[in-house]
Amino acid sequence: MPRADVKVLDTWYISGMAGTGSNDIVVEDVFVPDHRTGPFSLALAGAAPGQLIHSNPMYHLPFVPFAMAEVTPVVVGAMRGLADAFVERTRPRQGTLSHEKASGRQAAQIRLGRALAAAEAAETLWAAHLDRLTAQGPDLSDPRDRAEMKLKASYITDLCRTAVNDIVRGIGADGYRTASPLQRFHRDLSVLSVHAFLDIDTASETMGRFTLDLPVTDRLL
């Protein structure tokens, strides 16, 4: 519909992912002709008319694997960014009361090692995920295949969220200053991990139901 027929509400006030500007919209008394509509089910299968007019197979990807390929690198990049920022914070940090260098504390060393391992694991899992997506391409007509791709993306996100929650327990109050990248990565990953596309509980349940030959109700496949 024409942009003039849509009212954008300034509602996106949220602790994480604030930069997406995902405001609500209102449409009132607007007629939408058939030629401006399309069933979402075709987009889910990668067969929407707007997709099929392109020769590049990238545009023929089903919606969910394509969306996962867009958002998962953001998750993985945030995990790496937070791990790097944690290194930079730990090196010079010194206790206000104890005057002890954080880099000399075993707890900080252990937490830092786990952060680096989590960042590496997330990057490795994402690379494998992308390799499969590239190899299989648009041939993801089976909803079970799409459910598996969604689960893997959700699992990567959950891994990053768990790692981030572990890291921020050791950043100190100063790490939550608005100028600190640590708190921003923490907030962004916390919000991303509960998005409908990346919710680990929903993705796990769906794959479990497929495996047990039970009816699947997830509409985002």
Count of domains forming the chain: 2
Backbone angles phi, psi at 122, to 5 degrees: -65, -40
Would residue 14 count as lying in a domain?
yes
Provide the residue-wise pLDDT of the chain in tens; the chain has 221 residues: 889 999 999 999 999 999 889 999 999 999 999 988 889 889 988 889 888 999 888 888 888 888 888 899 999 999 999 999 999 888 877 766 666 776 778 888 898 999 999 999 999 999 999 998 888 777 777 889 889 999 999 999 999 999 999 999 888 888 888 899 999 999 999 999 998 889 999 999 999 999 999 999 888 88
Would residue 68 count as lying in a domain?
yes
CATH number at residue 23: 2.40.110.10
Measured CA to CA, the distance from residue 200 to residue 193 in angstroms comes to 8
Phi/psi-derived region of residue 180, left when phi > 0, alpha when psi is between -120 and 50, beta in every other case: beta
Would residue 136 count as lying in a domain?
yes
**DSSP code at position 142:** S
DSSP string, 54-106: -SSGGGGS-HHHHHHHHHHHHHHHHHHHHHHHHHHHHTT-B-TTT--BGGG-H
Would residue 52 count as lying in a domain?
no
Range of the domain at 74: 63-211
CB atoms within 10 A of CB 1: 12
Would residue 35 count as lying in a domain?
yes
